[in-house]
Amino acid sequence: MKKIFLLILIFFNFYSFLLAENLKFKKIASLDKPWGSSFISNNEIIITEKSGKIKIVNILTGKLAEIEHNLNFLEYGQGGLLDILHKDNFIYISYTENRENWKTSTSIAKAKLNKKKLLFKNIFQANPPIDSGYHFGSRLAIKDNYLFASAGERGMGMIAQDASKHPGSIIRIHLDGSVPKDNPRFQDKQKWLPEIYQIGIRNPQGLTVSPYDGKVYISNHGAKGGDFFGEVKKGENYGWKILGWGGKNYSGIPIGPKWKPGFTKAIQYWVPSIATSAIKIYKGDEFKEWNGHALITSLKDQSLRKLIFDDLSNIKEEIIFKDKIGRIRDIIIHPENGKIFFLNPDGLHLMEKN
């Protein structure tokens, strides 16, 4: 049995090596701790830097342009400017808002696209504000007239089970910030805050809408193990910190079971942790054979992984590459040709076929 397992491991490592050798990487632009990104045209990507700057990168020339903005942000621990999203000439951004006396929140603001200055107005604040530099989340995704956002639990553990508070949840609001009348609060979850769509999340740094089935998916960064990829489900609970998803506290003490009935079950778990970050469901021409598959990026593991998950009883995972461009913070797919771009701590990188 051990010999068979070893042979399988060698095969997959060799297969991953062949995949990586058929790829080429090019650095497009140098940046300072970039966090979120979104295409605003076929040749331009708007990018946040955690330290507070918003920039536009021309992917053909590498030219950078900085945009002024009016956000009341605070770079604090893992916080700062976070995700950014362009839709119909508007820009949506999640960020660490400086509320009062080092108390901050994962907040969301909206502005009309202007390449000189963005005048943002808040459309959501995660309450209560908390004095913590941990676990802000946060990714944004738009489905129809709904804005989905992930809000981390700020290192507060069981706050993710308290639906009278926003941290540790998936948020769903309209694009103007108003609350959908079919959110869980207005159906069978009267004690939930009106913006909350799902609870029990730790530090969700990936969020995307599938271009195939319209479902919303997240990746969640666990503790010492327990990262996962799963579907966002209305009114449900992923279980943090009752569940540990296979992980342990950093002290080594077990957190809880991987899963138990009554909680949302993830599609894929990683133990030990790979430090999951951004995700996408691929659709494009550059890698047609990947269409419909989930692409999972990681920080600590410095890898891109592909999940084939159309049959939930038989998930197939492949490591596309590892240790090529360092820690991967975000993944962006070109809307026309399907080429893939990544953010790592020092810049924007292009991946295409060799």
Residues pairing with 209 in the sheet: 216
Q: Does the pLDDT at position 1 exceed 60?
A: no
pLDDT in tens, 205-239: 999 999 999 999 999 999 999 999 999 999 999 99
pLDDT above 70 for 28: yes
Q: What's the mean per-residue pLDDT of the chain?
A: 94
**Across 110-131, average pLDDT:** 98
Prediction pTM value = 0.94
Confidence band (pLDDT; 50, 70, 90) for 354?
confident
Other CB atoms closer than 10 Å to residue 168's CB: what's the count?
Answer: 32
Q: b/e per residue, 278-294, with b = 16+ CB within 10 A?
A: bbbbbbbeebeebeebb
Query: What are φ and ψ of residue 328, in 5° steps?
Result: -105, 120
Distance CA 116, CA 93 (A): 16
Could you tell me which residue, 12 or 69, shows the higher pLDDT? 69
> Which phi and psi (to 5°) does residue 294 adopt?
-85, 135
Asked whether the predicted pLDDT for residue 27 surpasses 50, the reply is yes
β-strand pairing of 54-58 with 227-231? unpaired
pLDDT tens, residue by residue, 144-175: 999 999 999 999 999 999 999 999 999 999 99
Write out pLDDT tens, residues 64-115: 999 999 999 999 999 999 999 999 999 999 999 999 889 999 999 999 999 9
Domains along the chain with CATH numbers? 25-353 (2.120.10.30)
Instruction: Please state the rounded mean pLDDT for residues 260-277.
Output: 97
CA gap 7, 5 in Å, rounded: 5
At 15 the pLDDT is 47
Nearest to 103 by CA among 79, 123, 124, 122: 79
Residue 274 has pLDDT above 80, yes or no: yes
Helix and strand counts by DSSP (H, E) for the chain: 1, 25
